[in-house]
Structure 1
Amino acid sequence: MSNDWRSATGISPHQISQANEKEETEIATSLSNDTVIVVSNRQPYRHRYRQNEDGDPTITVDRPTGGLTAGLDPVMQRLNGTWIAWGDGEADRDTTDEDGQLSVPPEDPQYTLQRLWLTDSDVEGYYYGYSNRALWPLCHLAMGNTEFDSAQWRQYQAVNQKFADGVLEHATDDSVIWFQDYHLACAPKLVRSQSSSDPFILHFWHIPWPPVDAFRACPQHQELLEGLLGNDLIGFHVPQYCRNFMECVETLVEHAEVEHDSGRIRHEGRETMVKAFPMGVDADTIKQQSMNVPESMWQEFKNEFGLASDHRVVLGVDRLDYTKGIPERLKALEHLWAERPEWRGEFTYVQKGSESRSQIPAYQQLQERVSTITERINDRFGTDDWQPVIMIEEKLPRDTLCGLYRYSDAALVSPLRDGMNLVAQEYVASQVDDDGVLVLSELAGSHEQLGDAVISVNPYDTESHADAIEQAITMPETERRHRSRRLRRKVHNNNINVWLHDMFDTVDQLRGDGGT
C-alpha cells in the first residue's frame, strides 16, 4: 500500500483547506443577514473534569469530531449565531455565565453556545424514555422494543417546551431556527404558536421515518405530526422517508392538504415543504487525516492483537445499538467459518463497538447478546495463533480510527435499518489507497447513493451475507480499485458542505417566495 496519497488524489492539503473554506463561506454568505439558531439535543462543545499531571483537578473540553456538529461548527463560527443544546457535561455549569451561555470555540470565540439544564427526571423521561424507548425503535421498525409510556411522553413534551423557551429568548423576525432530529418533534409548533415574531423554522430528521401502518401505532402520532408541521421546511435523508411522512400526515392529520409531487403540506393556514437532503461527511478532512496515518501505526495495531503483517482484517464500526445488525453480522461470519473452513485463520474480524444507552434494557440485552456470540465464535474456531473476532470497546482517537478505515481490507456496514449511516461514507473517504471494499446493507439510507459500487447485502440473509464477506476478501485488485474510486467520487461530490448548501439554498428559495 502506497503512503503517497498524491498518487491517488492529485490534490494537496492546501487545496483541500481552500475548498472547505470556500464552501463554508458560500453557506455563511447566504445567511449573513439572518440570526441563525441551531437547536439540538447534543452540544458541539462539552466540558469535563480531569486531573493534570500533578493530580490537581482541571477542566477539559470535548470538541466536535464528526457528523453534524463537526460540519456545522465552522459555519456557525462565520455566522456569529446561537447554538442551543442540553448541557450534559459535568463541568458545563462552571464554564458558562449565569444565563447558561458561553462563547465558542474556547480559543477563538465566534458564536454563542446556550446550554439548557435538564434534571435527572427530565433526562430519564425525555431522553432515555420517550426519545429512545418510543421514537427511536418506532422509526427503525423495531416494534418489539417500543414503550409508549404516558409519563415519559409528558416529560418529553415538558423538555420540548424548555427548548422552545430557550429559542424564544433569542428569536426575531430575521431568525432561521434549525431543529435537529427526533428529540424535538414538538418544539417547532411550540415556537410557532408562542413567538411574537415570525422566524423561519426548519427541522432535519436524521433517522428513518416509518410507513403509516407502523407510525399510527404510536398513541401520540397526532401531536408529533402537528408539532413537526410547525416547521416551514422538513428535511429527511432520502425520498422514501419524505413519502412516508407525507402519507402519515395525509392519513392521520385532519384537514391537512398534501401535494405529493411538490412535497408541500397545507395545514391550519400554513405551508410546510418536505424535501430529501442526503447528508454527507467532511470527506476532504477525513481523507487528509487518513493520509497522515503511517503504515507503521497499522503494524503496531496488528502486533498488539497478535496478527501477522500480511493477515487480512475485516472491520466493523458501530454503536452497540440493536438497529446496527451486529448479531446478524457475527452469525454470517460464523456461518462462513463453519461452512468454508479454509477461511479459518485467513482473516480476523475487528468490531469497534461503542457502548450506547446502557440504561435501557433493550441495549443491555443487545450488548450481552453480542458478547455471547463473540465468545461462542472465538471458542469454536479460535486457536493458539488466531482469534476470529476482536472486540474494541474503548474510545479511539480520530487518527487511529482513520487508520483502521484506511488499512483494513474490507468494512461491513450492515444495519437492519438506518437513516443514512455516515460510517459507510467515512470508510470510503479514508480509502486513499483505493484498495478497501465496502459491504453495505440494502436497508441503510446511504445505499441509495452508494449501492451500485458496493457489495450489497440483506443483513437478515445469513448465507448471502457470508457470501458477500467472501466476495469482499477475494475481490481482484483491479475491481477493488475501480469500485473504490467510484465510491470516493460519490462521497466527495456529496459531502457535508454540499448538504448544508443545498438545505440553506432551499431556505433562501422559500423565503424569496414570500415565506410560508
Structure 2
Amino acid sequence: MTTTSDEHEDDDEESTTDDGVPPVDDESTTAADPAVENDLVLVSNRQPYSHEYDDDGDVVVDRPAGGLTAGLDPVMQRAHGTWIAWGDGEADREVTGDDGTVRMPPEEESYALKRIWLSDDEVQAYYYGYSNRVLWPLCHGGVWQTEYANRHWRRYQQVNGKFADAVVDAIGDDSIVWFQDYHFALAPRQVREQVPDALLAHFWHITWPGWDTFRACPQAADILEGLLANDLLGFHVERYCYNFLDCVDEAFDDAFVDYDDNRVQYEGHTTHVAAFPLGIDANSVAQSAADTDEESWRSFKRDRGIPEESMVALGVDRLDYTKGIVERLKALEEFWRTRPEWQGELTYVQKADESRSLIPEYQNLQSNVEEAVERINERFGTDEWTPVVYIDDWLESDALNALYRYSDVMLVSALRDGMNLVAKEFVASQIDDDGVLVLSNQTGAHEQLGDQSVSINPYDTQEFANAIEEAVTMEETERHRRMRTLRERVADADLDAWMADVFAEIEEIRENRTVR
C-alpha cells in the first residue's frame, strides 16, 4: 500500500480476513458501469503508468501503487477511453507512438494513454509556478504564500491549451470528459469553445476558499469562467460548493446562482455543482494491514529504537505547509512538558515525504520541521528513549502497513485540507479496532469522521495537547466502539462509491440534455 495525500500532490486503500478480524459490511458498487458504454476522456496532471530505465538500461513500467490514479485505472480499462496526462517518465518517449499515445495497461491494452510533453520551463511555470504557488496556497487560505508572476500565468494558459487540444482530438459523439484537479481550471472553457456540445465534468480535489480570499487572485474571473464551462463541477464537501457559488455570485453580475439546487447559469450554459466526498480503496487497505503481523511491528520498533512497551502516535504526511506538522510538534512538546509522566511512555513517529522541494516555502518548512524535531529530542530525550522518530526515507510496504495497523494514535493536524485520505487509510487499517484518530476540524474528512474522532483545532496548542492525552488514555471499550464506527463509514463511502456517485450524476445530466 502506498499512502495518498489529499489530496494528491496531484502531489497523494474492508474485507473479511482469516485471522479473526470482524468484518465490516461492504456492498461495493462497480463504479465504472455508467461509463462503459461511452468513451471516457480522463485528464490528469500525473499519468497512471510511466516508463523508466532500470539499472541495466532496459525500459520498465512504473505502475500505479495506490491512491486515485490506481483507483481510476480499472475504470479506464472498462471504459476503453483515453487518459490524457503529462508524460514525465524518462523512457516515455521511447515507447510512445508518433501520435503521443501508448496502449495501457501493458498486459491487456484496453485504453489509450495520451502523453503531453512539457518542457522544463513549462513544468516550472505551469506546475511549480501557477498551480502550486498560486492556486494551491490560494485555495488553502494562504494568500501570503502566493506569487503572481505573469509568465507563470501565461504558461498555465498555454499548457491548459495543450491539454484542451488533446481532449478535442480524443472526443467522440458520446464521450464524457473528466478533468481532475486544479491544474486544469482553464481547459474546460478552451474545450467548450471548440466543441460546444461536449459533456464536461471536473473534480476539484482541494478546498475552495471564500470570496474574500479568492478575490485576491488577479485572474479570479478567468478561473471561474474556465470552471463554469463544465456541466458538472465536483468538490469534496458542501461547504466548498457554497464557497464556489458565492464566488461566482460576487464575481459576475450576469450569472444566475441557484443556491437551493447548486446550479449556475452563465452565458447560456448551466453548471451543476455537487459534493462527492472522495474515498479510498478500503478493502485493499484492510487486507494489506491484515497481511502484517506483530513480529514485523516489534522488528520496526527495535530498528527505530522505540521502547517495546511505549505507545506510538503516528503522523504520515507530505512535507506541505498545509499539513500542520509544525503545529503538531508544538502540541507534542507541550504534552510532554506538562505531562512528564508520559516521557518514555509515548513515542511519536513522523513519516514525512519530501514535496515540491524546488519551491522555497517547502524548503523552509522542511528546515523548520527538522529543527523542531531536534529541539524536542534534545529537550526530553534520554539514552533509552527518543521522543520523535523522524522518517524521511523509503519504507517498505509491510513496515508502513504495520505502522498504520499497530500505532495507538494517528495525529492528523492539517491546517486546511480538501479531504485527507491518510486519516481514512489509518481507519481502514485498524482491523483490530483499537486505535484512536485525532483529527483536525479543518479537514474535509472531519465532516464524515469528526464525531467519532478526537477533534482538534490545530492552531490551539493547549487543546491539541489535551486531545493527545484523551486519545492515549481512552478506555478500551470506547476505542473499539469509535473505531468500529469509523471503519464502517470509510468502507461504505469508499473509492468505488465515490466514482459511482460521480458517474450517476453525469448520466443524469446527459439524460436531461436528451430530454430537452
TM range (shorter): over 0.9
Q: Which amino acid is the alignment partner of residue 289 of structure 2?
A: S
Task: Please identify, of 286-295 and 200-209, the stretch whose mean Cα deviation from structure 2 is larger.
Answer: 286-295
Shift of 1:33: 2.2
CA distance in 1, matches of 2:66, 2:262: 30
Shift of 1:123: 0.4
Give 4+ residue runs of structure 1 displaced > 6 Å after superposition: none
Tell me the SS of whatever aligns to 1:144: helix
Tell me the SS of whatever aligns to 1:432: coil
Question: In the TM superposition, what are the counterparts of 1:447-462 in structure 2 within 5 Å?
Answer: 447-462=446-461
Q: Which residue of 2 aligns with 1:303?
A: 302
Q: Which residue of 2 aligns with 1:33?
A: 37
Q: Which residue of 2 aligns with 1:7?
A: 20
Contact kept, 8 Å, 1:172 with 1:198, in 2: the verdict is no
Shift of 1:28: 2.9
Shift of 1:32: 2.3
CA distance in 2, matches of 1:30, 1:129: 37
Question: In the TM superposition, what are the counterparts of 1:345-494 in structure 2 within 5 Å?
Answer: 345-494=344-493
The Cα offsets for residues 432-479 of structure 1, whole Å up to 9 and x where unpaired, read as 011111000000000000111000000000011011111111111111
Q: Which amino acid is the alignment partner of residue 446 of structure 1?
A: A
CA distance in 1, matches of 2:83, 2:267: 29
**Structure possessing the higher relative contact order (Cα contacts under 8 Å, 6 or more residues apart):** 2
Shift of 1:4: 6.7
Q: Which residue of 1 aligns with 2:46?
A: 42
Q: 1:478 to 1:99 in 2, by over 3 A?
A: same
1:138 and 2:142 are equivalent in the alignment: no
Gaps of 5+ in 2: 1-15
Tell me the SS of whatever aligns to 1:57: coil
Q: Which residue of 2 aligns with 1:98?
A: 98
Question: In the TM superposition, what are the counterparts of 1:334-353 in structure 2 within 5 Å?
Answer: 334-353=333-352
Query: How many pairs are equivalent?
Result: 500
Q: Which residue of 2 aligns with 1:251?
A: 250
Task: Please identify, of 30-39 and 417-426, the stretch whose mean Cα deviation from structure 2 is larger.
Answer: 30-39
Q: Which amino acid is the alignment partner of residue 82 of structure 1?
A: T
CA distance in 1, matches of 2:129, 2:429: 36
The Cα offsets for residues 314-372 of structure 1, whole Å up to 9 and x where unpaired, read as 10000000000000000000011111111111111000100000000110110010011
Tell me the SS of whatever aligns to 2:321: coil
Q: Which amino acid is the alignment partner of residue 478 of structure 2?
A: E
The Cα offsets for residues 71-120 of structure 1, whole Å up to 9 and x where unpaired, read as 11111111111110001111211221122211112222221111100001
Q: Which residue of 2 aligns with 1:158?
A: 158
Question: In the TM superposition, what are the counterparts of 1:73-88 in structure 2 within 5 Å?
Answer: 73-88=73-88
Q: Which residue of 1 aligns with 2:3?
A: none
Q: Which residue of 2 aligns with 1:224?
A: 223
Q: Which residue of 1 aligns with 2:148?
A: 148
CA distance in 1, matches of 2:396, 2:94: 26
CA distance in 2, matches of 1:95, 1:376: 50
The Cα offsets for residues 463-509 of structure 1, whole Å up to 9 and x where unpaired, read as 11011111111111111100110000100010010000001001111
Shift of 1:67: 2.2
Tell me the SS of whatever aligns to 1:396: coil
CA distance in 2, matches of 1:386, 1:57: 45
Shift of 1:414: 0.8
Contact kept, 8 Å, 2:349 with 2:391, in 1: the verdict is yes
Question: In the TM superposition, what are the counterparts of 1:305-320 in structure 2 within 5 Å?
Answer: 305-320=304-319
Q: Which residue of 2 aligns with 1:285?
A: 284
Q: Which residue of 1 aligns with 2:233?
A: 234
Q: Which amino acid is the alignment partner of residue 377 of structure 1?
A: I
Q: Which residue of 2 aligns with 1:61?
A: 61
Q: Which residue of 1 aligns with 2:125?
A: 125
Tell me the SS of whatever aligns to 1:427: helix
CA distance in 2, matches of 1:466, 1:5: 38
Contact kept, 8 Å, 2:36 with 2:80, in 1: the verdict is no
Q: Which amino acid is the alignment partner of residue 98 of structure 2?
A: E
Contact kept, 8 Å, 1:87 with 1:116, in 2: the verdict is yes
CA distance in 2, matches of 1:477, 1:5: 23
Contact kept, 8 Å, 1:332 with 1:465, in 2: the verdict is yes
Shift of 1:6: 4.9
Q: Which amino acid is the alignment partner of residue 20 of structure 2?
A: S
Tell me the SS of whatever aligns to 2:54: strand
Shift of 1:399: 3.4
Q: Which amino acid is the alignment partner of residue 325 of structure 1?
A: G
Q: Which residue of 1 aligns with 2:89?
A: 89
CA distance in 2, matches of 1:102, 1:152: 30
CA distance in 2, matches of 1:403, 1:37: 37
Contact kept, 8 Å, 2:32 with 2:500, in 1: the verdict is no
Aligned-pair Cα RMSD in Å: 1.6
CA distance in 2, matches of 1:405, 1:452: 21
Q: Which residue of 1 aligns with 2:8?
A: none
CA distance in 2, matches of 1:142, 1:207: 13
CA distance in 2, matches of 1:495, 1:252: 35
Question: In the TM superposition, what are the counterparts of 1:208-219 in structure 2 within 5 Å?
Answer: 208-219=207-218
Tell me the SS of whatever aligns to 2:323: coil
Q: 1:349 to 1:100 in 2, by over 3 A?
A: same
CA distance in 1, matches of 2:249, 2:338: 49
The Cα offsets for residues 278-300 of structure 1, whole Å up to 9 and x where unpaired, read as 11000011111110112211111
CA distance in 2, matches of 1:322, 1:31: 37
Shift of 1:149: 1.2
Task: Please identify, of 227-236 and 291-300, the stretch whose mean Cα deviation from structure 2 is larger.
Answer: 291-300
Tell me the SS of whatever aligns to 1:328: helix
Gaps of 5+ in 1: none
